[in-house]
Chain A
Amino acid sequence: MTIISPTMSHPQAENQGIEPAPASPPMRVAIVGAGRGGMALLDVLHQISRIQIVGITDQNPSAPGLTRAQELHVPVYDRVTDLITHQGLNLVIDVTGDPAMESVLREEVPAGADVVNGQTARLLWVLVQHESTLQTELLHAEKLAGIGSFAAGIAHDMNNPLQLILGLAENLTDETDLEAVHLQAHDIIEAVKRTTAICRDLTSYSRRASLRQDCLIGVGGKLDEALKIARYAVALQDIEIRKLYQPDVVVKGNPDELLHVFVNLITNAVQAMDHHGTLTLETHAMADATQIRVSDTGSGIAPELLGRIFEPFFTTKPPGKGTGLGLYNIKNVIHHMNGTIEVDSQIGRGSTFTLTFPGESGAGERATQS
């Protein structure tokens, strides 16, 4: 969910004469079965503010959904009867596919709560999987669309070492001083290594986000990696970059997706500054949360647009310059990591995007980064 900084007002709804919908209590849902299906439901429903997951249960204590529930701070119940007799429950979703469980639920679920099981629950799961697949594909498509904007940066960074290699090789065809030959051969080797590193960075970035399990990610290192990639899309030479990294700040998630989040935010920030200004990257480890801030001194975002910037296909960039999917995609990634994103912006002063994630203990547990 987008949380807009309380300093910015939202006149949009009133201006359009639309009455904001009266706040209704969230739908209280219990999930029975924490295998792949239950875990998928948990992941998607947890992101929806109008749904509150009161608990999840499974006969198998090592079911993957139970671990995920703990990460999301969703209560885990050992006994199904304890969960389904929860007060104020609106809906029980049974994804076990077990006829015995159907009987139990029929008898034990209190009046006032509906039960979804069998083929209906299966349909729900299929829809959730479809939504999840769509989000992944959308993120990958947006990433690939962005790669095109890297063309200028890639050409520049590869053609420079190629010029050196060509010039030195041409000189070597009639160089007779052996020491000069050795030095120039060495320079050629170094230039090839530089070019290889560029190719490696780009192919690594453009591959589909890996399906490996979430791991602890060193945030400072990932921000620095994102700066290297962002250089291909936007010129950073005239940008002052301020890094305010606390040591050993980590978050848990998919490293490829987090890299994409940072590349997106940094690229947007530099574009907002029209290539002149100050980009500030901050990391903070607090008692129970981790915060990352990306700030720019650019044009800022108009108040009436702030509420829309995370919508899919919404963009203020000229045609061909932005898909409008960047912030939508990164919002989804952040929510999947059980985090939030806030934006604070003033016209003419700049914008600050603040990402907040659940706290993780850092040093000593960090996974090896590829």
Chain B
Amino acid sequence: MSDFKSGFFVGGESCNGRVLVVDDEPDIRKVVRMTLQKAGYDVLEAENGEKAIETINYGENRLLLDVIICDIRMPKVNGIEAIAYFRQNYPRVPLIVLTGFPDTDMATALLRQGVVDYLVKPVEGEKLKASVARAMEQRELAHL
């Protein structure tokens, strides 16, 4: 299995989509990356909201980015603020929230803000892949 983890997405049509995973836990980023790479996605990682914004703005990433998966409870620009930033600045990029603490009120509020899915850890690989696939369909529609 590849351990591909450069700071920018690979261009061209060589993958099923390009995903940015934002979580302060390296283990989470690792396992999400493993699962999605196996399913043919190109995956970049960021450890907090600030780094996520840096990564998106690096090189051509902004143009190539297809889906963002983001935790909520993170240091330095926490998830809620980052999500609001992403929705405002990259409105066409679907956002999936992956959180360790289920909160129905928060989920409702986020879904109303346009987040496409709210997943609670630990999430099965199949559910994660299905969620990303749905997000990719939305992305396709956004391109039209």
Contact = CB atoms under 8 A, between A and B. Distances in A.
B28 A163 contact: yes
A116 interface: no
Interface residues of A, number: 25
Nearest to B25: A160
Contacts of B32: 167
Contacts of A171: 34-35, 38, 125
* Size range of the chain B interface in the assembly: 20 to 34
B91 interface: no
A123 B30 CA distance: 66
Contacts, number: 69
A162 B121 contact: yes
A180 B1 contact: yes
B74 interface: yes
A237 B74 contact: yes
Instruction: Report whether over half of chain A's contact residues are helix, strand or loop; otherwise say mixed.
Output: helix
Contacts of B31: 163-164, 166-168
Contacts of B34: 167, 171
A50 interface: no
Contacts of A166: 31, 122-125
B76 to A, nearest CB: 7
Interface string B19-55: 0000011011011101100100000000000000000
Given A152-B101, A156-B100, A159-B100, A237 B75 contact: yes
Contacts of B78: 238
A21 interface: no
A160 B101 CA distance: 10
- The residue in B24, B99, B101 that gathers the most chain A C-beta atoms within 10 A of its C-beta is B101
Contacts of A165: 122
A286 B39 CA distance: 63
A170 interface: yes
A158 B28 CA distance: 12
Contacts of B75: 237-238
Interface in B81-107: 99-103
B10 to A, nearest CB: 22
Interface string B63-86: 000000000011110100000000
A155 B102 contact: yes
Nearest to B77: A238
A157 B99 CA distance: 11
Interface of A: 151-152, 155-168, 170-171, 177, 180, 187, 191, 235, 237-238
Given A160-B121, A180-B1, A237-B74, 17 more contacts: A152-B73, A155-B101, A159-B121, A159-B122, A160-B28, A163-B27, A166-B122, A166-B123, A166-B124, A167-B35, A170-B35, A170-B125, A171-B35, A171-B125, A177-B1, A235-B73, A237-B24
26 contacts: A151-B101, A152-B73, A152-B103, A155-B101, A155-B102, A156-B101, A159-B100, A159-B101, A159-B120, A160-B100, A163-B27, A163-B28, A163-B121, A164-B30, A165-B122, A167-B32, A167-B122, A168-B31, A170-B124, A170-B125, A171-B34, A177-B1, A187-B27, A237-B74, A237-B75, A238-B75
Interface of B: 1, 24-25, 27-28, 30-32, 34-35, 38, 73-76, 78, 99-103, 120-125
